[in-house]
Amino acid sequence: MKKILAASALALGLGVSATAFAEPVKVGLITTLSGGGAGLGVDARDGFMLAIKLSGATDIEVVTEDDAMKPELAVQIADKMIQSDKVDVLTGIIWSNLAMAVVPNAVAQGKFYLSPNAGPSPLAGAKCDKNYFNVAYQNDNFHEAAGNYAQTEGIKKMFILAPNYPAGTDSLNGFKRFYKGELVGEVYTKLGQTDYAAEIAQIRASGADSVFFFLPGGMGIAFMKQYAQSGVEIPVMGPGFSFSQDVLGAIGDAALGAKNTASWSPDLDNARNKEFVTAFKAEYNRLPSIYAAQAFDTGSLIAAVAAKTDVKDADAFRAALEAADFQSVRGKFKFNTNHHPIQDFYVREVVKDADGVLTNKIIATSFTDHEDAYAKDCKM
């Protein structure tokens, strides 16, 4: 009996020492896999899983759940993942209203949250947290880049449009921060709205030189199709979300030539991006969207950090995340003091690739090493 006990104690001891360095990391991926926003969530999930697969890591376990784009559901899932699945890291949320509901609670319980998309301004500023990292952007960034582009292009009168939710107000604020011309219209629509006849009529009557709109997912598809049919000839521009790969197919040729801004594009010239785009096409038989690219970076970062540090040692894990020593599809990657990226933003144009598929091509750089406007309010 004594022998057996000793043997098992020894085995346990060995087991512990053997795994002490590569403690498995459990990741909870909460994203939108059903309903109107599912295209975005599916791309984020697929990008994330591809990164884990390519990293070759065997000790990362991912639990995936669908939030159906509902904040209350996302909160329940996060609680369940923390309490019964015992996850170490949470990620995956696309929508800012869901992130605002989940993130503060999760980081308060000592869990890490890495955002692959949503970057609401409070979490970048006054409500920032040492365990919250945003691998994508701060919400205002793409829109700031678009505002900067409109300003440098010398566009005199703009009409701007976004949905009425945290990322929508961040969007228009970001645009206005860099665009100093005249705003002939500023309209907030309902989140999930699909008929834009009333807004298009206002655009027609406004006499604008250009229209800036931020409408991710199905909202943008509906807007662009209706706009193309309305006979209004004013050129449109937007953040990368409005012309992302997930919606281009459904918008069709109406999107051709539209300018949009993003921190990434499928044609961005670096080895890691080429590897990502090729692998994504081979694995899922479609071109990746910006959501897939950001989630891929999130997955790569977790894999790189987990290979070096033990997730149970929160301080070491956090320090490794802050160092962000991983290969990004964006070429270079660095976190600011508020755990949001400092990165370049490009102006892209919708074109047809060699196979006749609509996609984006970089035509200019809007910002180099751009920081968000809220970092100074973050006291960590």
Binding residue (CB under 8 A) for other proteins from 92, 218, 239, 341? 218
Nearer to other proteins, 122 or 331 (CB): 122
Minimum Å gap between C-beta 186 and other proteins is: 5
Binding residue (CB under 8 A) for other proteins from 12, 198, 323, 357? 198
Per CB under 8 A, does 164 bind other proteins? yes
Minimum Å gap between C-beta 263 and other proteins is: 23
Binding residue (CB under 8 A) for other proteins from 204, 272, 274, 318? 204
- Spatial CB neighbours of 213, under 8 Å, sequence gap ≥ 6: 160, 161, 162, 220, 223, 236, 238, 242
Per CB under 8 A, does 360 bind other proteins? no
How many beta carbons lie within 10 A of that of residue 241, not counting itself? Answer: 26
Nearer to other proteins, 83 or 164 (CB): 164
Binding residue (CB under 8 A) for other proteins from 87, 103, 124, 247? 247
**377 neighbors 336 (Cβ within 8 angstroms):** no
CA distances from 144 to 1, 95, 171, 175, 362 (A): 71, 19, 8, 5, 17
Minimum Å gap between C-beta 284 and other proteins is: 11
Contacts with other proteins: how many residues (CB under 8 A)? 38
Torsion over CA: 194, 33, 119, 364 (sign):
negative
Q: Which stretch binds other proteins (CB under 8 A): 101-109, 112-120, 218-226, 349-357?
A: 218-226
CA distances from 47 to 280, 290, 349 (A): 7, 10, 23
Minimum Å gap between C-beta 376 and other proteins is: 23
Binding residue (CB under 8 A) for other proteins from 27, 29, 38, 304? 38
Per CB under 8 A, does 249 bind other proteins? yes
Q: Which stretch binds other proteins (CB under 8 A): 71-79, 190-198, 306-314, 341-349?
A: 190-198
At residue 13, what is the residue type? G
CA distances from 331 to 92, 239, 276, 295, 326 (A): 22, 20, 12, 15, 10
